[in-house]
Structure 1
């Protein structure tokens, strides 16, 4: 039980809560503890950053998996319509890309610049992320036949 007066969702001047900081910095045990103690899974910072977006952006695949299992929306986006898949693809985090796609991330979603995850990673030269997306598409094609 939480101590009276302790706010696990208290946000700093940029809207970051302890959970958001832990997700961004790869602190898996802290993420687990905060969620167990009741921190809000769906809280976002000032620019719409969620724990899932931050973990995917920085390549923390274990935290991405934990958040998805806890019920995070795989297709949640920030204020510029960037999703966790877009962030992980752009930053060449192929493990995160693969996890997000397995959990049903929308590969065709577009951000404010009308770019999807595949376009973002190919423009950036994020080859490992590109391969992860292509492997996912090949799996979809072979299971459809």
Structure 2
């Protein structure tokens, strides 16, 4: 149990050398703290990419979920941490693991304006870019519904369209992204969606 505590302390302290020493003792990388987080998840939550990289290279599970249903991939995507998202994608990210809203990493990335993440994911082979979450929204719908219609979300919308996202998927009420953009008075978004064949 002492080594379990030590691995979390090394992660919290960002002490790479101490972490490497602990890893040489072959302790489990999948132990959990009170929030249900593994050492890798804590490193990602703390935005310590160097420590996260050491843990991933040591074989930490990139798909483990905590009590809030976040995984390293889902959390890094929502927070715009491109380095970790790339690392996790290259180390077996499971696209069928969803956050507490039933969403992929792309959906909150689109909502929060993380353009680099959006571009990366829509162009990643076999990524489910048209996945519908528990609210009945795709990343494209969310980028319109939860945006302010400003420059950042216009760029996000462009990236989603360019990445091949379906512009005509409707929400649970039958409203499309175009309907929402019109209702909100987002003129630029309306133009982009119409040009992309939205109805």
Candidates 170, 173, 187, aligned match of 1:110? 170
Between structure 1 and structure 2, the one with the greater Rg is 2
TM-score by structure 1 length? 0.82
Partner in structure 1 of residue 181 of structure 2: 121
Quick check: 2:130–2:139 contact (8 Å CA) kept in 1? yes
User: Per the alignment, do residues 133 and 62 of structure 1 end up closer, same or farther by CA in structure 2, a change over 3 Å counting?
Assistant: farther
Candidates 49, 56, 76, aligned match of 2:110? 56
- Aligned counterparts of 1:54 and 1:139: Cα–Cα separation in 2: 22
- Aligned counterparts of 1:138 and 1:57: Cα–Cα separation in 2: 22
| Unmatched tracts of structure 1, length 5 or more | 141-145
Partner in structure 2 of residue 143 of structure 1: none
Candidates 147, 156, 160, aligned match of 1:100? 160
Q: How many pairs does the alignment contain?
A: 137
Candidates 112, 128, 140, aligned match of 1:73? 128
Partner in structure 2 of residue 137 of structure 1: 194
TM-score by structure 2 length? 0.61
How well do the aligned residues superpose, as a CA RMSD in angstroms?
2.2
Q: Which has the higher contact order (CA 8 A, sep 6+)?
A: 1
Cα deviation for residue 124 of structure 1 reads: 3.3
1:18-37 matched pairs, under 5 angstroms = 18-37=72-91
